[in-house]
Structure formats: C-alpha cells, structure tokens
Amino acid sequence: MRITRRLGLSLFGAALLGLGLGPAPIAGPAQAQDKELVIFAAASLKNALDEASAGFVTQTGRPAPKISYAASNTLAKQIEAGAPADVFVSADLDWMDYLAQKNLIRPETRVNLLGNRIVLVAPKNEAKPIAIEPGLDLVAALGAGKLAMGNIDAVPAGKYGKAALEKLGAWDGVKNQVAQADNVRGALLLVSRGEAPLGIVYQTDAASDPNVTIVGTFPEDSHPPIIYPIAVTKDSINPDAAGFVAHLRSSGAKPAFEKQGFTILNKPAPNS
C-alpha cells in the first residue's frame, strides 16, 4: 500500500522492513480475500498468540496471519504513520485509546480481551523470594546491578511497573538503577542472560522463559488494571480480520492464553 504522507525512513519504513512488506497496489474487493492478514500485537503476547493463530489456521483453513510483535507504543505509532495492519492488540488501554482518538480503529470491533499481572523476576540460579509490599526496598537486592524494565514513559509494562514501585514507596530508591528496554521481552532478556539481577515483566513473560524465576508478584491494587484490548483497524479491507478477532474471543483460543497465564476478560469495551 503506497502511503502519500511525507514520511522518511522512520517508523513506517521500519515497520515495512520488519514485516517483509514492500509497496503494493491498493487492494480492491476482488483482491481483499487474498490479501495477507497482518496483526500488530504487544510483545508479551508472542507465545500465546502464536499458538492461537495456529488454531485459527487449523479451524478456518485460511492462510496464517503475519504477526508483528513489538511494544504497544511502537505499534500504535506505526499504525498512525500508515503501516498496513489489520488488527491491533495492545498491552494497555492507553495506546488503543490513542488510536481511537485519531479515528484509526473501528470502535464496534474493540474488545477488552485479556488481563495479566506484573511480577519481579530474577535469574533462575540466583532467585530469592522478595516480599512485594508497602515499604519495599530493592536497593540491597540489586546491589550495583540494574532493574530491568520496559521504557517507563511509553511501554505498558514499564508504566505499570513504575506506578507499582511509586505506590509501594520503592521508586526513589531504584530510579537511578533502572535499565529501560524497548519492550517487555527486552527487559526479560536482560534478566534471562544474567545482565540484570532483577526485572519487572508480565507474569506471562516469566512463564515463557525457563531461565528466570518469579521472586515476587505485585499487588493488583498497586497499579492500574492490566488490560489487553483488541480491535480491527479503520483502514483494514481484509475480511479475515473480523474472523481472527472472533477466533481469539472463542473457547478454541482460550487454552492458548490460559496456559501462558493470561486472564480471559473477553468483554466489549465501554462505549464501543
């Protein structure tokens, strides 16, 4: 799809390269059925969504969707720049709201699909339980090391983590020792490789990596509710988009999400 806005090799160019897509004619009605279904999804969904996507292919006989995983903020900005996504799954409400305010999603398709928890993880061989409670002090546990987190200003997991640390009175003690990653899987990798003694990630990320162990779980009231909304983008012409969303809401996809530790919400968004 040719984009006529003035864009350099910025977010949109990166999105095309990452997806392996190049310029293509705008698909008409006869072409839409054969157009590749493109999903933009939060990085923390990878294991579960890969499995759920395989189920979609098995049950419908349709081609496998092309799924691009990254931080929700990055994906939302790429969609804003014109990247050819059919479906967006965010790790928080803020970035879905961002696209909704710009009229870039179809509000009638928006659903709050999943819930999650944030946890404190450590390398498996160095794990010692830490009580996550008011007055939490991570300074001693970190020593001279870093606390791995997603970007605290943009990445949902980083925003949730900072909010929780502030609520528990721990932020001021560790704010100068935070190693910020571009997405939550990047933060997980720092801990998995032993490059950071502690990290804040989603419970589902911890379940996906055998090299880390959960040493504490943040109270749900210490941060805003963790909700993953999904919606079809406004410019999507792919008829499989609605079917893919319906599959993720179905009982057939439920085991793939629950196995990774997600909570099934599957509720229409307010005012949708």
Q: Which residues pair with 268 in a beta bridge?
A: 111
- What tokens were used for 36? 């590749």
Q: How many CA atoms lie within 13 A of 100 on its CB side?
A: 19
Nearest Cα residue to 32 out of 70, 76, 1: 1
Distances (CA, A) of 79 to 3, 70, 153: 12, 12, 19
Is the pLDDT reported for residue 79 higher than 50?
Answer: yes
- What tokens were used for 62? 């349709």
Mean pLDDT calculated for residue range 213-218: 97
Question: In the predicted model, what is the mean pLDDT of the chain?
Answer: 89
Dihedral sign for Cα atoms in the order 102, 103, 107, 110 = negative
Mean pLDDT calculated for residue range 174-186: 97
pLDDT, position 78? 98
Q: How far apart are CA 139 and CA 170, in angstroms?
A: 9
Contact 224, 166 (CB under 8 A): no
Question: pLDDT over 90 for what percent of the chain?
Answer: 83
Residue 127: band (very low, low, confident or very high) from pLDDT cuts 50, 70, 90: confident
pLDDT, position 30? 39
pLDDT, position 241? 98
Rounded to two decimals, the pTM is 0.84
